[in-house]
Amino acid sequence: MSIGLRLDANGWAQISELIQCASKNGRKFSREQLEEVVRDSDKQRFSISEDGHRIRANQGHSIDIDLALEAIKPPEQLYHGTAKRFLESILKDGLHPQSRQHVHLSQDVETALKVGQRHGKPAILAIEAKQMNLEGYSFYCSDNGVWLTDEVPPQYFSVIPSTVINE
C-alpha cells in the first residue's frame, strides 16, 4: 500500500513525513513507538540515520535504491533459505532477486532455515561465496548482517541434504 511517502536515492525517508503520511492513511503511531520497533525488532530491518531525522529499510527494496554499501569480501560460505517447491527452478536457473534488488544470503544455516520456513517446506542452499567473489561477483553486507549479491548461478551452490525437510 502506498501512503505517499518520498524516499531519496538511498532509500531514506524523513521520520516526520513517515509519521504524517501514515497518520493520513489510518496508521497512527508516535516517534517513540517507531524507535521502539526499530530498536527491538529481532530482524533489525530498519535503520535510523545518525542525525536521527531519517529512516530506511536495511535491504529488501522492491524499488531501485542505492544503499551505498561497499563491496566486501564474503566468508567462504553463505546460505540461502527457500521453499522446497522452488528447488527445481533454482537448480536450473540459479538464484535471482525476483522482485527485490538483490539475492539475500545468511551467514548461518539457522537463519537461512527460518527464512525458508516462511515460504513452505524449507531447503537450504550452501553458497560458495568466496569462490564467486574470486570470479568477479560482488557481495555487500547490510547494516543488519544480511549478505546481498546480484545473482547466484547454479554452479556456485549445493543443497544441504539434512535441511531438506519432509522430502
pLDDT per residue over 36-79, tens digit each?
888 887 777 788 888 999 888 776 555 566 667 889 999 999 99
Parts of the chain with a pLDDT under 70: 1, 59-67, 162-167
Cα distance between residue 55 and residue 133, in whole Å: 31
Q: Which residues contact 113 (CB under 8 A, 6 or more apart)?
A: 81, 122, 124, 163
In angstroms, rounded to a whole number, what is the distance separating the alpha carbons of residues 7 and 13? 5
What is the Cα–Cα distance from 90 to 80, expressed in whole angstroms?
11
Helix ranges (H only) for the chain are: 15-24, 31-40, 87-93, 109-117, 129-134
Q: Which fold has domain 78-163?
A: ADP-ribosylation fold (3.20.170)
Total residue count of the chain as it appears in this document: 167
Quote the pLDDT of residue 4: 85
Query: Could you give the residue range(s) of every CATH 3.20.170.30 domain in the chain?
Result: 78-163
Q: What angle do CA 118, 104, 160 make, to 5 degrees?
A: 70
Tell how strand 157-159 and strand 103-105 pair up: unpaired
In this prediction, residue 80 carries a pLDDT of 96
Lookup: cell for 142: 547490510
**Quick check: pTM over 0.85?**
no
DSSP state of 58: S
pLDDT at 63: 59
Q: Are strands 157-159 and 122-127 parallel, antiparallel or unpaired?
A: antiparallel
